[in-house]
Structure 1
C-alpha cells in the first residue's frame, strides 16, 4: 500500500488539494494501492475559499518508507507560507523527508515549502508562473524551469499550479499504477491531457484520448488491454457494434490517427516495457507485443527509434519528464 500524505497549511488552495486527491482516490477505486491522508501541523485550517476542514491528521513522524508527500499550495503564498503553521511544515520536512526513501509532489506554491526546506537543491523544478522568481531566490541551487505544467526529477515532482496538479497526479498514477488505470481516471474526471509538440511524446496509452466519444474509447480500451491480438478494423468494429467504415472515420476524426497507427503505437510501447526484462529474448518480446516476427519487430523499432532493440536495451534513458505549459 502506498501512503499518500497531502500536507496542508493556512489558506491552502482548495483545488490544489481536491484535484490531485480526487485523481488518486479514483485510481484507488480502480484498484491502485493508494491510501490518502490529510495532514497538517494543526487539527483545523481554513482554505482559500473559507471552508474550514477539521480533524486533520498530524504530520507523520517519522514518514514511512516509500510514502508520497504532496505539498499543497496556498493563497497569497508570500504571506501564508511565512505563518507559523507553514514554517512548522518546513521544519518537519527538513527533519523527516529523505529523497532516497520518500517521494515528493508539489502543487503550485507548495513548491516553495520544499524550497524553504532545502529539498530542491540540484533538482529541476517548476511552480506557478507568478512566483518563479521567488522560487529562484528561495532555492538558488535548484534548476528552475519556466513555462512547464510539471517537471519530474527523480523522486521530486513539481507542478505549475491549481489545475496542473491533476496533470501531475495522472502522470504519477500512470508511473505507479499503470496506463490503464490512468486512462480510467482521466476518462472518469473528463480531463484532457495537455502536452506540447516540443516535449517528449505522451505515453501512447494516454495519447489520442482527448475526446469524449464512447465508441472510440471502447475501441482504444480493447487494443490497450490486449495489444498482441490481431486487431483488424473489422474485428474491432464488430466488438463496438459499428461498421468498419464508420469506425475508421470516427477514429480519424477524434484521435487524428488511424486505428492501425494507434495499435502499432501501443505495441511499440508494450515492447519498450518488455525490453526492461533482461531474461526475455528479442523473439519473446516480439511475440508478446504482437509483432509477426522478430525481424518485423526490429524493422518497426529501428524505424521508430533510430536504433535496434538490442541497442536500446544497452542505452540508459533519462527518467526526467517535462510537460510544457500552454
Structure 2
C-alpha cells in the first residue's frame, strides 16, 4: 500500500490538487493500491476558487514507498505565500531523509525550498515565478519552461495542469509506461512528458490521440508485443476489419500496427542491449525469430 499525501495551504488551487489526485485515484481504480490523504494546519481550508476543503491535522504513518505532494496556491509572489509551520516543513524533510519522495505543483515548490529540499537540485515552477524562485533559492538549479523535473526524489512541476504530467511521470516510473498510458487514456488527456524532451517511451509517444479503438489495440500490443499477434487477430479483438484497423491506427499514430509492434520490440531490445544483453539474446527476448530483423531495424533507426 502506498500513501499519497497532499499538503494543503490556504488558497490552494483546485486543479493543482485535483489533477494529480485524479491520476493516482485512477491508477488505484486499475488495481494499484494507493490511499490518498489530505493534511493541513487547519481543518477547514479555503481554496483559490472559493470551494472550502476539509483536511486532517495529523500525518499518517509514511514509509519510503509513499509520496508527499504540495499543490500550489494563489499568491502574487512566492515571498507573499501563506505561512507553513516549522513542523510541516520538518515533516517534508524527514520523509525525504527516510527515502521517500516529495513533489510540488506550481508555487508548491516554495514549500520545498523552505524545507531545504531544493538546494543542489534541479527544479521548476510556474513561469511567472521562475525568476523569483531562482533568487530565493540560489543553491537550486531552476529549469525554465519544462513541464516537470525530477532530481533525487524531489519532483517539481510547472503551473496548474502540469500536475497531471507530474503524476503520470511518477506512475510510469513506478508501474511502467503502459499503466501511465492507461491512466491518461481514462482521464482523456495526452500522456505527456517534459516539454523540451521527446517522449521517452513508444508506449507514451503514440498515445496522443482520442481514438478508443486504436487505444484498445495499443493496449493489446503493449501487453503482448513480444508475442505473435496477427493483424486479423488484433482486428477481431477490437471489433473491426483488418483494413479498418490499419486505417484508423495509421491515422491516429502515423504507424501501422506491425510497425508499432516493431517499435516496441526495438525499444525494449535497445534497453536490454544497453544493459549487457547480446543482440541475439535481445532479439529472442522481444519476440523476433532471429536477430537479422533486429539488426535491420537498428540500422534503419540509427
1:70 alignment partner, SS class: strand
The answer to whether the 8 A contact 1:100-1:155 is kept is no
Q: CA deviation at 1:231?
A: 2.9
Structure 1, unmatched stretches of 5+, are: 307-326
Correspondence for 1:192: 190
1:204-223 equivalences under 5 Å are 204-223=202-221
Which deviations, in whole Å up to 9, do the C-alpha atoms of 1:283-310 show, x marking residues without a partner?
4432231112234334434553x5xxxx
Q: CA deviation at 1:147?
A: 0.8
Correspondence for 1:264: 262
- Distance (Å, rounded) in 1 between the aligned partners of 2:211 and 2:203: 16
The answer to whether the 8 A contact 1:15-1:162 is kept is yes
1:229-268 equivalences under 5 Å are 229-268=227-266
Q: Give the aligned CA root-mean-square deviation in angstroms.
A: 2.6
Which deviations, in whole Å up to 9, do the C-alpha atoms of 1:76-119 show, x marking residues without a partner?
1637964344565334434x233561111111110111112210
1:286 is aligned, of 283, 290, 293, to 283
Correspondence for 2:8: 8
**Quick one: higher RCO (CA 8 Å, sep 6+), 1 or 2?**
1
Correspondence for 1:111: 109
Which deviations, in whole Å up to 9, do the C-alpha atoms of 1:133-182 show, x marking residues without a partner?
11101210111111111111231111101101001111111111222321
1:1-326 equivalences under 5 Å are 1-60=1-60, 63-76=62-75, 78=77, 82-85=81-84, 89-94=88-93, 96-99=94-97, 101-194=99-192, 198-272=196-270, 274=272, 283-301=280-298, 303-304=300-301
- Distance (Å, rounded) in 1 between the aligned partners of 2:253 and 2:195: 16
> Which region of structure 1 is more displaced relative to structure 2, 17-26 or 28-37?
28-37
1:220 alignment partner, SS class: helix
- Distance (Å, rounded) in 2 between the aligned partners of 1:131 and 1:70: 19
Q: From the superposition, tell whether residues 122 and 197 of structure 1 become closer, same or farther in structure 2 (CA, over 3 Å).
A: closer
- Distance (Å, rounded) in 2 between the aligned partners of 1:197 and 1:20: 18
Q: From the superposition, tell whether residues 197 and 167 of structure 1 become closer, same or farther in structure 2 (CA, over 3 Å).
A: closer
Q: From the superposition, tell whether residues 104 and 16 of structure 1 become closer, same or farther in structure 2 (CA, over 3 Å).
A: same
The answer to whether the 8 A contact 1:14-1:47 is kept is yes
Q: From the superposition, tell whether residues 49 and 152 of structure 1 become closer, same or farther in structure 2 (CA, over 3 Å).
A: same
Q: What is the number of equivalent residue pairs in this alignment?
A: 302
Which deviations, in whole Å up to 9, do the C-alpha atoms of 1:24-67 show, x marking residues without a partner?
0110110113221111223221111222222424235x743332
- Distance (Å, rounded) in 2 between the aligned partners of 1:287 and 1:115: 48
Correspondence for 1:322: none
- TM-score with structure 2 setting the length: 0.89
- Distance (Å, rounded) in 2 between the aligned partners of 1:17 and 1:176: 20
Q: CA deviation at 1:196?
A: 7.5
- Distance (Å, rounded) in 1 between the aligned partners of 2:261 and 2:36: 35
- Distance (Å, rounded) in 1 between the aligned partners of 2:278 and 2:145: 42
Q: From the superposition, tell whether residues 55 and 284 of structure 1 become closer, same or farther in structure 2 (CA, over 3 Å).
A: same
- Distance (Å, rounded) in 1 between the aligned partners of 2:273 and 2:41: 45
Structure 2, unmatched stretches of 5+, are: none
- Distance (Å, rounded) in 1 between the aligned partners of 2:262 and 2:162: 30
